[in-house]
Amino acid sequence: MADLNELSEKLALLKQEIEGEIKNLSNSKVAFEYRKGLMDSKTGKIGTLMREMGKIPNELKAEYGKKVNEIKMWAQDRFEELESKLKEAEMAERYNSETIDVTLPAKMRPIGNLHPNTQVRNQIVDIFGSMGFEIYEGNEIETDYYNFSALNIPKDHPARDMQDTFYLSPEFLLRTQTSAGQIHVMEEKKPPIKVISPGKVFRSDDDATHSPMFSQMEGLVVDKGITLCDLQGMLDVFVQKIFGEDTKTRLRPSYFPFTEPSVEVDVSCFQCHGKGCKLCKGTGWIEVLGAGVVNKKVLEGCGIDSNVYSGLAFGIGIDRIAMLKYGINNIKLLFESDLRVLNQIND
């Protein structure tokens, strides 16, 4: 290389070539490879420049070295700039492609509700539980004695027709009423007695409001001086908690062999508040349960002195309360497990 002008030209061309090449370097990996090639001391266009120092006349060596160093420094700066730009872009792209959308709603896992009957049963248990009632669990299979005779419904008594019975044998049957539990309780416990007894009962009966199996909640209180007033007081609290604060009760004379006097209990219609609507059939009142003062014959039959003690009893139809409370017009809906119905009831 005769003079440095030639070198300067060569370096200028090399710079141009590098600039042109840089435009095609689309990622940091190819940029690194290209730079490595350029700087390689045996093959690289910049790397080999120093080796040519030997051919340069002594007086030009310093200048030559300076120029070669300059292009080396230039290339280094240029590539550092390029690589940091490429890395930044690559990082941004990676963040973009690996982004997790934390706002995506989670997959919903469907969870069930308690059955409407169970919800109502729990509510009733809570209400009477808060009044100091204990729970007695009776038997679904009973003898004729507990389900009927001991409740003052002797064989051939017309009251047996009130409840179409599934007999298992002449002696055993599926209980038609939780009242059968009253007798067990009075045989096992001495007064004061204050129990509720929830459970399934069975009658050969089947229409829109009756099912062969349904649920009742029996209530029994036996103590000194228990009267119909105690019954109404307790039931007032019960219906107000179940149907709403302004609900009233009305007792109508009725007949059950095991209570004397016997009553049907109506509640003021919680839908129309007494004005008359479809639910209360225009009367303003809805019948919800049967009740009464425990018949002295029943007390005596269980060995309780009816001159000292008196009692009250009530039987609540749990399905009926659930249907009224949740606006269910066919009892079959309580047995069909239709989620469109059940999901609406979460009390």
**Closer residue to ligand PHE in complex, CB, 153/242:** 153
The span from the CA of 294 to the CA of 279, in Å, is: 31
215 is an interface residue for ligand PHE by CB under 6 A:
no
Tokens of 328: 């269910």
Contact 237, 131 (CB under 8 A): yes
**Closer residue to ligand PHE in complex, CB, 56/220:** 220
Contact 237, 127 (CB under 8 A): yes
The span from the CA of 231 to the CA of 247, in Å, is: 16
314 is an interface residue for ligand PHE by CB under 6 A:
yes
How long a stretch of residues is the chain?
A: 347
| Shortest Cβ 247–ligand PHE spacing (Å) | 20
**Closer residue to ligand PHE in complex, CB, 86/217:** 217
The span from the CA of 236 to the CA of 230, in Å, is: 10
Residue type, 207: D
**Closer residue to ligand PHE in complex, CB, 259/310:** 259
What is the CA angle 167-172-178, rounded to 5?
85
Answer for which of 147, 179, 197, 295 binds ligand PHE (CB under 6 A) is 179
Residues of span 234-293 touching ligand PHE by CB under 6 A: 256, 259, 290-292
Residue type, 181: G
**Distance, first Cα to last Cα, the chain:** 98
**Closer residue to ligand PHE in complex, CB, 228/342:** 228
| Shortest Cβ 195–ligand PHE spacing (Å) | 12
311 is an interface residue for ligand PHE by CB under 6 A:
no
| Shortest Cβ 265–ligand PHE spacing (Å) | 10
Q: Give the phi and the psi of residue 294 in degrees, each rounded to 5.
A: -60, 130
| Shortest Cβ 147–ligand PHE spacing (Å) | 10
Answer for which of 270, 301, 315, 345 binds ligand PHE (CB under 6 A) is 315
| Shortest Cβ 293–ligand PHE spacing (Å) | 9
| Shortest Cβ 303–ligand PHE spacing (Å) | 20
Contact 285, 249 (CB under 8 A): no
**Closer residue to ligand PHE in complex, CB, 191/292:** 292
43 burial via Cβ count (<10 Å: 0-12, 13-18, 19+)? exposed
**Closer residue to ligand PHE in complex, CB, 28/163:** 163
| Shortest Cβ 326–ligand PHE spacing (Å) | 22
The span from the CA of 175 to the CA of 214, in Å, is: 11
Site residues for ligand PHE per CB under 6 A: 177, 179, 256, 259, 290-292, 313-315
